[in-house]
A = this chain, B = another copy of it.
Amino acid sequence: MNSFGRIFRISVFGESHGACVGVVIDGCPAGLALNEADFAADLERRKGGQGKGTTPRKEDDIPIFKSGVFNGKTTGFPITILFENKNTRSEDYEKQRSIPRPGHADWVAHQKFGGYEDYRGGGHFSARLTTGIVAAGVIAKKLLTLGLSANEDKNIPISITASITEIGGEQDTEKGLQKAIEAKDSVGGIIECVVKGMPVGLGEPYFDSLESVLAQIVFAIPAVRGIEFGTGFAAAKMFGSEHNDAIEAMSGKTRTNHAGGIVGGISNGNDLVFRIAVKPTSSTPQKTKQPELGYRQYGRFLCKRSS
Protein backbone atom coordinates (compact mmCIF):
# COMPACT_ATOMS: atom_id res chain seq x y z
CA MET A 1 0.00 0.00 0.00
CA ASN A 2 1.09 3.53 -0.72
CA SER A 3 -0.21 5.12 2.48
CA PHE A 4 1.32 6.04 5.81
CA GLY A 5 -0.08 7.27 9.12
CA ARG A 6 -3.12 6.70 11.28
CA ILE A 7 -4.22 10.19 12.28
CA PHE A 8 -2.53 12.29 9.60
CA ARG A 9 -2.48 9.81 6.73
CA ILE A 10 -0.71 10.44 3.45
CA SER A 11 -1.18 8.48 0.21
CA VAL A 12 1.08 9.02 -2.78
CA PHE A 13 0.28 8.29 -6.41
CA GLY A 14 1.51 9.04 -9.91
CA GLU A 15 4.28 8.13 -12.29
CA SER A 16 7.42 9.93 -13.46
CA HIS A 17 6.18 10.34 -17.02
CA GLY A 18 2.43 10.11 -16.50
CA ALA A 19 0.06 13.06 -16.23
CA CYS A 20 1.15 13.98 -12.72
CA VAL A 21 2.34 12.89 -9.33
CA GLY A 22 0.49 13.77 -6.16
CA VAL A 23 -0.67 13.09 -2.66
CA VAL A 24 -3.86 12.81 -0.64
CA ILE A 25 -3.60 13.94 2.99
CA ASP A 26 -6.40 12.71 5.22
CA GLY A 27 -6.80 13.83 8.81
CA CYS A 28 -5.43 17.36 8.63
CA PRO A 29 -7.40 19.62 11.01
CA ALA A 30 -9.63 22.35 9.58
CA GLY A 31 -8.64 26.00 9.56
CA LEU A 32 -4.97 25.81 8.60
CA ALA A 33 -4.08 28.55 6.10
CA LEU A 34 -2.43 27.03 3.03
CA ASN A 35 -1.30 28.56 -0.20
CA GLU A 36 1.07 27.83 -3.04
CA ALA A 37 3.85 29.95 -1.52
CA ASP A 38 4.00 27.79 1.62
CA PHE A 39 5.38 24.96 -0.48
CA ALA A 40 7.96 26.80 -2.56
CA ALA A 41 11.04 26.58 -0.35
CA ASP A 42 10.82 22.90 0.49
CA LEU A 43 9.85 21.88 -3.05
CA GLU A 44 12.79 23.87 -4.39
CA ARG A 45 15.09 22.18 -1.90
CA ARG A 46 13.81 18.77 -3.01
CA LYS A 47 14.70 19.56 -6.62
CA GLY A 48 18.30 20.19 -5.60
CA GLY A 49 18.68 23.54 -7.23
CA GLN A 50 19.89 24.22 -10.72
CA GLY A 51 23.58 23.82 -10.05
CA LYS A 52 26.12 21.21 -10.88
CA GLY A 53 25.68 17.70 -9.66
CA THR A 54 21.88 17.62 -9.78
CA THR A 55 19.21 16.13 -12.02
CA PRO A 56 18.81 17.89 -15.39
CA ARG A 57 15.00 17.52 -15.30
CA LYS A 58 13.31 20.89 -14.75
CA GLU A 59 9.75 21.01 -13.45
CA ASP A 60 7.84 23.92 -11.98
CA ASP A 61 6.48 21.81 -9.11
CA ILE A 62 3.53 24.09 -8.51
CA PRO A 63 1.03 22.44 -6.15
CA ILE A 64 -2.48 22.23 -7.59
CA PHE A 65 -5.08 21.85 -4.83
CA LYS A 66 -7.94 19.64 -5.95
CA SER A 67 -9.77 19.15 -2.66
CA GLY A 68 -9.74 19.95 1.03
CA VAL A 69 -8.86 23.64 0.80
CA PHE A 70 -11.60 26.31 0.79
CA ASN A 71 -11.13 30.06 0.97
CA GLY A 72 -7.40 29.47 1.50
CA LYS A 73 -7.82 27.23 4.52
CA THR A 74 -7.99 23.50 5.13
CA THR A 75 -11.52 22.14 5.55
CA GLY A 76 -10.74 19.07 7.66
CA PHE A 77 -11.42 16.78 4.70
CA PRO A 78 -8.91 15.03 2.41
CA ILE A 79 -6.46 17.42 0.77
CA THR A 80 -5.51 16.37 -2.75
CA ILE A 81 -2.47 17.99 -4.34
CA LEU A 82 -1.28 17.34 -7.88
CA PHE A 83 2.02 18.23 -9.52
CA GLU A 84 1.89 18.12 -13.29
CA ASN A 85 4.63 16.41 -15.27
CA LYS A 86 5.73 18.64 -18.10
CA ASN A 87 9.42 18.05 -18.79
CA THR A 88 9.14 14.45 -19.93
CA ARG A 89 10.62 12.75 -22.93
CA SER A 90 9.18 9.26 -22.92
CA GLU A 91 11.10 8.13 -25.99
CA ASP A 92 14.30 8.14 -23.93
CA TYR A 93 13.05 5.17 -22.04
CA GLU A 94 12.17 2.81 -24.83
CA LYS A 95 15.51 1.09 -24.45
CA GLN A 96 14.49 0.08 -20.92
CA ARG A 97 12.17 -2.35 -22.57
CA SER A 98 15.08 -4.67 -23.21
CA ILE A 99 17.77 -3.65 -20.70
CA PRO A 100 16.83 -3.39 -17.04
CA ARG A 101 19.07 -0.69 -15.58
CA PRO A 102 21.35 -1.86 -12.75
CA GLY A 103 20.49 -0.36 -9.39
CA HIS A 104 17.05 0.70 -10.62
CA ALA A 105 13.73 -0.99 -9.93
CA ASP A 106 13.15 -1.88 -13.59
CA TRP A 107 13.70 -5.60 -13.18
CA VAL A 108 11.75 -6.13 -9.93
CA ALA A 109 8.91 -3.95 -11.20
CA HIS A 110 8.68 -6.06 -14.30
CA GLN A 111 8.67 -9.26 -12.26
CA LYS A 112 6.07 -8.05 -9.80
CA PHE A 113 3.78 -6.19 -12.17
CA GLY A 114 4.10 -8.50 -15.14
CA GLY A 115 5.26 -5.95 -17.66
CA TYR A 116 2.26 -3.68 -17.13
CA GLU A 117 4.13 -1.14 -15.01
CA ASP A 118 4.79 2.30 -16.47
CA TYR A 119 8.53 1.88 -17.03
CA ARG A 120 9.22 5.40 -18.31
CA GLY A 121 11.66 7.12 -15.99
CA GLY A 122 11.10 4.57 -13.28
CA GLY A 123 7.35 5.14 -13.30
CA HIS A 124 5.87 4.97 -9.82
CA PHE A 125 9.34 4.19 -8.38
CA SER A 126 10.73 7.55 -9.50
CA ALA A 127 12.11 9.90 -6.85
CA ARG A 128 9.70 12.39 -8.42
CA LEU A 129 7.07 10.78 -6.18
CA THR A 130 8.79 12.42 -3.21
CA THR A 131 7.16 15.67 -4.35
CA GLY A 132 3.96 14.52 -2.67
CA ILE A 133 5.80 13.43 0.46
CA VAL A 134 7.50 16.82 0.70
CA ALA A 135 4.15 18.58 0.23
CA ALA A 136 2.67 16.55 3.07
CA GLY A 137 5.71 17.44 5.15
CA VAL A 138 5.14 21.14 4.53
CA ILE A 139 1.63 20.84 5.94
CA ALA A 140 2.79 18.73 8.89
CA LYS A 141 5.52 21.25 9.73
CA LYS A 142 3.06 24.12 9.51
CA LEU A 143 0.81 22.37 12.02
CA LEU A 144 3.79 21.84 14.33
CA THR A 145 4.90 25.44 13.98
CA LEU A 146 1.51 26.51 15.22
CA GLY A 147 2.03 24.25 18.20
CA LEU A 148 -0.80 22.11 16.95
CA SER A 149 -0.69 18.50 15.92
CA ALA A 150 -3.63 16.49 14.68
CA ASN A 151 -3.71 14.65 17.98
CA GLU A 152 -2.74 17.05 20.69
CA ASP A 153 -3.08 20.61 21.80
CA LYS A 154 0.44 20.95 23.09
CA ASN A 155 1.81 24.39 22.64
CA ILE A 156 5.40 23.50 21.89
CA PRO A 157 7.55 25.16 19.28
CA ILE A 158 9.38 22.45 17.37
CA SER A 159 12.34 22.99 15.08
CA ILE A 160 13.30 20.35 12.54
CA THR A 161 16.55 20.57 10.61
CA ALA A 162 18.10 18.11 8.23
CA SER A 163 21.50 18.63 6.68
CA ILE A 164 24.00 16.73 4.57
CA THR A 165 26.96 15.92 6.79
CA GLU A 166 28.97 13.84 4.35
CA ILE A 167 29.19 13.33 0.58
CA GLY A 168 31.26 10.53 -0.92
CA GLY A 169 32.97 10.01 2.40
CA GLU A 170 33.97 13.67 2.72
CA GLN A 171 32.69 15.76 5.61
CA ASP A 172 33.52 18.78 3.49
CA THR A 173 30.49 18.20 1.30
CA GLU A 174 31.62 20.65 -1.39
CA LYS A 175 34.74 18.56 -1.78
CA GLY A 176 32.77 15.32 -1.99
CA LEU A 177 30.49 16.76 -4.64
CA GLN A 178 33.43 18.09 -6.65
CA LYS A 179 35.04 14.65 -6.55
CA ALA A 180 31.90 13.14 -8.08
CA ILE A 181 31.67 15.81 -10.76
CA GLU A 182 35.27 15.18 -11.72
CA ALA A 183 34.76 11.44 -11.78
CA LYS A 184 31.60 11.98 -13.86
CA ASP A 185 29.86 9.64 -11.45
CA SER A 186 27.05 9.76 -8.90
CA VAL A 187 27.91 9.65 -5.22
CA GLY A 188 26.27 8.80 -1.85
CA GLY A 189 26.07 10.73 1.38
CA ILE A 190 24.88 11.03 4.96
CA ILE A 191 22.02 13.23 6.18
CA GLU A 192 21.54 14.13 9.82
CA CYS A 193 18.17 15.20 11.18
CA VAL A 194 17.83 17.01 14.52
CA VAL A 195 14.51 17.91 16.13
CA LYS A 196 14.58 20.39 18.99
CA GLY A 197 11.64 21.10 21.26
CA MET A 198 10.40 17.52 21.23
CA PRO A 199 7.42 16.78 23.47
CA VAL A 200 7.94 13.98 25.98
CA GLY A 201 5.96 10.79 25.42
CA LEU A 202 5.71 10.31 21.65
CA GLY A 203 5.97 6.68 20.60
CA GLU A 204 5.18 3.34 22.14
CA PRO A 205 7.30 0.40 23.14
CA TYR A 206 7.68 -2.25 20.39
CA PHE A 207 6.10 -1.93 16.94
CA ASP A 208 5.04 1.70 17.21
CA SER A 209 8.28 2.82 18.81
CA LEU A 210 9.36 6.25 17.62
CA GLU A 211 12.33 4.57 15.89
CA SER A 212 10.02 2.04 14.19
CA VAL A 213 7.70 4.68 12.85
CA LEU A 214 10.44 7.06 11.74
CA ALA A 215 12.40 4.23 10.11
CA GLN A 216 9.31 3.12 8.24
CA ILE A 217 8.84 6.50 6.59
CA VAL A 218 12.55 7.19 6.12
CA PHE A 219 12.99 3.96 4.16
CA ALA A 220 10.09 5.12 1.97
CA ILE A 221 12.55 7.63 0.49
CA PRO A 222 14.25 6.02 -2.50
CA ALA A 223 18.01 5.29 -2.08
CA VAL A 224 18.09 5.22 1.73
CA ARG A 225 20.17 2.24 2.87
CA GLY A 226 20.47 2.76 6.60
CA ILE A 227 19.26 4.70 9.64
CA GLU A 228 20.75 5.13 13.09
CA PHE A 229 19.49 6.98 16.17
CA GLY A 230 21.70 8.89 18.60
CA THR A 231 25.11 7.30 18.79
CA GLY A 232 23.82 4.59 16.46
CA PHE A 233 26.25 2.01 15.11
CA ALA A 234 29.00 3.51 17.27
CA ALA A 235 26.96 2.49 20.33
CA ALA A 236 27.73 -1.12 19.43
CA LYS A 237 31.34 -0.47 20.40
CA MET A 238 30.59 1.14 23.77
CA PHE A 239 30.26 -0.02 27.35
CA GLY A 240 26.94 0.52 29.12
CA SER A 241 28.53 2.86 31.65
CA GLU A 242 29.66 5.13 28.80
CA HIS A 243 26.45 4.93 26.80
CA ASN A 244 23.87 5.47 29.55
CA ASP A 245 22.66 9.07 29.63
CA ALA A 246 22.42 10.38 33.19
CA ILE A 247 19.13 12.14 33.89
CA GLU A 248 20.00 15.49 35.42
CA ALA A 249 16.66 17.09 36.11
CA MET A 250 13.00 16.41 36.67
CA SER A 251 12.43 17.75 33.15
CA GLY A 252 14.17 14.64 31.84
CA LYS A 253 17.19 16.51 30.54
CA THR A 254 20.16 14.19 30.21
CA ARG A 255 23.85 15.06 30.49
CA THR A 256 24.76 13.23 27.28
CA ASN A 257 22.39 12.21 24.47
CA HIS A 258 23.65 8.85 23.24
CA ALA A 259 20.02 7.71 23.03
CA GLY A 260 19.22 10.40 20.47
CA GLY A 261 16.17 11.48 22.45
CA ILE A 262 14.37 8.13 22.50
CA VAL A 263 14.23 5.64 25.36
CA GLY A 264 12.00 2.57 25.35
CA GLY A 265 10.60 3.69 22.01
CA ILE A 266 9.36 6.94 23.56
CA SER A 267 10.68 10.49 23.21
CA ASN A 268 12.33 11.78 26.37
CA GLY A 269 12.30 15.49 25.54
CA ASN A 270 15.97 15.73 24.61
CA ASP A 271 16.91 16.44 21.00
CA LEU A 272 15.78 13.76 18.59
CA VAL A 273 18.82 12.86 16.48
CA PHE A 274 19.09 10.40 13.61
CA ARG A 275 21.25 9.93 10.54
CA ILE A 276 20.47 8.22 7.28
CA ALA A 277 22.77 6.74 4.66
CA VAL A 278 21.91 7.51 1.03
CA LYS A 279 23.45 5.32 -1.65
CA PRO A 280 24.80 6.93 -4.83
CA THR A 281 22.07 7.57 -7.42
CA SER A 282 21.75 4.60 -9.75
CA SER A 283 21.67 6.92 -12.76
CA THR A 284 25.30 7.68 -13.52
CA PRO A 285 27.23 8.46 -16.70
CA GLN A 286 29.63 5.65 -15.76
CA LYS A 287 27.65 2.74 -17.06
CA THR A 288 27.73 -0.56 -15.29
CA LYS A 289 28.17 -3.24 -17.93
CA GLN A 290 25.61 -5.98 -18.09
CA PRO A 291 24.13 -8.20 -20.78
CA GLU A 292 20.97 -7.25 -22.67
CA LEU A 293 18.35 -9.53 -21.19
CA GLY A 294 15.40 -8.78 -23.46
CA TYR A 295 13.27 -9.18 -20.41
CA ARG A 296 10.20 -7.21 -21.34
CA GLN A 297 8.80 -9.78 -23.67
CA TYR A 298 6.83 -12.10 -21.49
CA GLY A 299 4.10 -9.99 -20.00
CA ARG A 300 1.32 -12.10 -18.57
CA PHE A 301 -2.19 -10.93 -18.05
CA LEU A 302 -3.18 -9.61 -14.66
CA CYS A 303 -0.33 -10.37 -12.35
CA LYS A 304 -0.97 -10.96 -8.69
CA ARG A 305 0.32 -8.50 -6.14
CA SER A 306 2.33 -10.40 -3.66
CA SER A 307 2.16 -8.25 -0.56
The residue from B228, B242, B244, B268 contacting A107, defined by CB atoms under 8 A apart:
B268
Copies in the complex: 4
* Alpha-carbon separation in the docked complex, A288 to B109 (Å): 51
> A64 — nearest CB in chain B belongs to which residue?
B19
Interface residues of A in 153-206 (CB under 8 A from B): 153, 166, 168-169, 180, 183, 185-190, 199-206
Which B residues are in CB contact (< 8 Å) with A215? 212, 215-216, 218-219, 227
- Given the interface contacts A188-B237, A190-B233, does A24 sit within 8 Å of B13 by beta carbon? yes
Asked whether, in the complex, the Cβ of A278 is within 8 Å of the Cβ of B225, the reply is: no
Q: Mark A19-48, 1 if CB is under 8 A from B, else 0.
A: 111101011011110000000000000000
- Given the interface contacts A13-B24, A112-B200, A215-B216, does A280 sit within 8 Å of B240 by beta carbon? yes
The residue from B116, B243, B304 contacting A103, defined by CB atoms under 8 A apart:
B243
Asked whether, in the complex, the Cβ of B200 is within 8 Å of the Cβ of A209, the reply is: no
Chain A interface residue count, CB cutoff 8 Å, equals 157
The residue from B185, B204, B220, B239 contacting A239, defined by CB atoms under 8 A apart:
B185
Closest-CB distance, A72 to chain B (whole angstroms): 10
The residue from B67, B76, B111, B211 contacting A117, defined by CB atoms under 8 A apart:
B76
Which B residues are in CB contact (< 8 Å) with A288? 241, 244-246
Closest 8 pairs (CB-CB, A-B): A105-B264, A226-B228, A186-B240, A240-B284, A169-B237, A241-B286, A215-B215, A240-B280
